[in-house]
Amino acid sequence: MTLLEQLEIKHAIFLAPMAGVSTPELAAEVSNQGALGSLGLGASTAEAARQQILATQALTDQPFQVNFFCHQSAALDSQTAQQWIQHLQPQFAKYGATPPEQLRCIYPSFLDNDDFLNVLLETRPKAVSFHFGIPHAHQIQALKNAGIITLVSATHLTEAQAIEAAGIDIIIAQGIEAGGHRGIFNQSFDSCIKTADLVQLLKKHCSAPVVAAGGIMIGQQAKAMLQLGADAVQLGTAFVQCKTSNANDAYRKALFNQPLTQVTASISGRPARGLINHWHTQVDAPDRPPVAAYPYAYDLGKQLHAAASQQGDHGFGAFWAGSNAAQIRELEAADLVNQLVLEMNIA
Ligand SMILES: Cc1cc2nc3c(=O)[nH]c(=O)nc-3n(C[C@H](O)[C@H](O)[C@H](O)COP(=O)(O)O)c2cc1C
């Protein structure tokens, strides 16, 4: 069975799940065109995740993918946290604000308990993908028993091999060009492989289908990935500008006006690629202390962004974007899918 048959979709195009940007409307618009829509639910509570899945199911009877984070929940190292708060204190002061005294764990991991799993077993989306790691064996088995297709992001070969060994159905090959968080399992090691190289590496050594993600903005790039052996492509940044996405005006403007990107861990505590802004030019000074762990640093980052935006400065936004963001086009999601399909079919 091909990947398209397995997922019951027409086009080898996936909308990347994007926590904070995904909406049921965007997911349904993409799925209704015969591609695979998605919901990024890693930043949601179990109840909010449930509501988003139900809302999407009300808008489309076509398959879509939902996504959760499988990070290893770390206990807060209070010394690192205090140093990080101190490092950002002058930034807060610029906007007449004070940083919090403590950092909170704002995102639970899928690994912490079975609350998200139970939502999946109740709502039964076609597919579920995971970022930052692999679910527990009992969770994978429960998803299999429910007939839900599983996907996990890999950024290098040994992650992909672990994914296959765990019995996951599909591997997402996330290259260094990708917008958003690096899917690396272990933060102390990032091999930074480009999408095209990673696709070829994984196709050579793995037997599960491989989805190429990272830097794909137009159909010709998607087609090139399929020619290298990818079974489908996954695009995030290209869809952020769509009317049905949840991106705010500042983010949309920055995507079109200043589309240069860089990876930093300062915003959330994990490395992620986004549009270059104050995080990269002011916070990431060579003498900065170690960043507090994910997602504690993100708690502080979001509060700094809120304080700055209240004063009209949007330079601390988490404006995730891939390295080919400059190729972004202003197109509705349905039109973008159709345009990509046309470009992929050009000889
Ligand atoms: C705004 C944004 C948010 C993202 N959020 C998630 C997420 O919640 N879960 C996830 O697995 N990947 C997330 N990613 C990464 C994507 O799955 C994918 O790897 C990336 O978008 C591909 O690169 P591209 O943006 O150049 O197309 C996000 C990417 C972007 C641009």
User: CA 98, CA 259: separation in Å to the nearest integer?
Assistant: 31
Pocket test for ligand 1, best of 18, 110, 168 (most atoms within 8 A of CB): 18
Beta-strand runs (E) in the chain: 13-15, 37-40, 64-69, 127-131, 149-154, 170-174, 180-181, 210-213, 232-235, 261-264, 272-275
Q: Report pLDDT for 177.
A: 99
**Using N-to-C axis directions, what is the helix angle for 137-145 and 115-123, rounded to 10°?**
10
Instruction: In whole angstroms, give the CA distance from residue 274 to residue 254.
Output: 11
Count other Cβ atoms within 10 Å, centred on residue 45: 14
User: What is the 8-class DSSP label of residue 269?
Assistant: S
pLDDT at residue 281, rounded to an integer:
97
Residuewise pLDDT in 10s, the chain (347 residues):
999 999 999 999 999 999 999 999 999 999 999 999 999 999 999 999 999 999 999 999 999 999 999 999 888 999 999 999 999 999 999 999 999 999 999 999 999 999 999 999 999 999 999 999 999 999 999 999 999 999 999 999 999 999 999 999 999 999 999 999 999 999 888 999 999 999 999 999 999 999 999 999 999 999 999 999 999 999 999 999 999 999 999 999 999 999 999 999 999 999 999 999 999 999 999 999 999 999 999 999 999 999 999 999 999 999 999 999 999 999 999 999 999 999 999 86
CA distance 15 to 35: 8
Distance CA 245, CA 332 (A): 10
- Residue 179, ligand 1, Cβ within 6 A: yes
In this prediction, residue 347 carries a pLDDT of 61
Q: What letter represents residue 204's amino acid? A: K
Residue partners of 125: CB distance under 8 A and separation at least 6: 53, 56, 57, 63, 64, 65, 66, 148
Distances from the Cα of 268 to the Cαs of 33, 250, 253, 333, in angstroms?
34, 19, 22, 28
Domain 3-71+107-245+331-345 in this protein, CATH class: alpha beta
Write the pLDDT tens digit of every residue in 86-104.
Answer: 999 999 999 999 999 999 9
CA dist 154 and 133 (Å) reads 8
Q: Which amino acid is at 117?
A: L
Rounded Cα distance, 175 and 197, in Å: 8
- What tokens were used for 179? 């917008």
Q: Is the CB of 240 under 6 A from ligand 1?
A: yes
**Cα(93) to centroid of ligand 1, in Å?**
32
For residues 7 and 15, is the Cβ–Cβ distance under 8 A? no
Ligand 1 contact via 42 beta carbon (within 6 Å): yes
Asked whether the beta carbons of 285 and 302 are under 8 A apart, the reply is: no
Say how many Å lie between the CA of residue 142 and the centre of ligand 1.
26
Any idea where the domains of the chain sit in the sequence?
3-71+107-245+331-345
User: Tokens 């952020």, residue?
Assistant: 240
Q: Are strands 127-131 and 210-213 parallel, antiparallel or unpaired?
A: unpaired
| CA-to-CA dists, residue 195 to 69, 170, 191, 222, 259, angstroms | 21, 16, 12, 11, 19
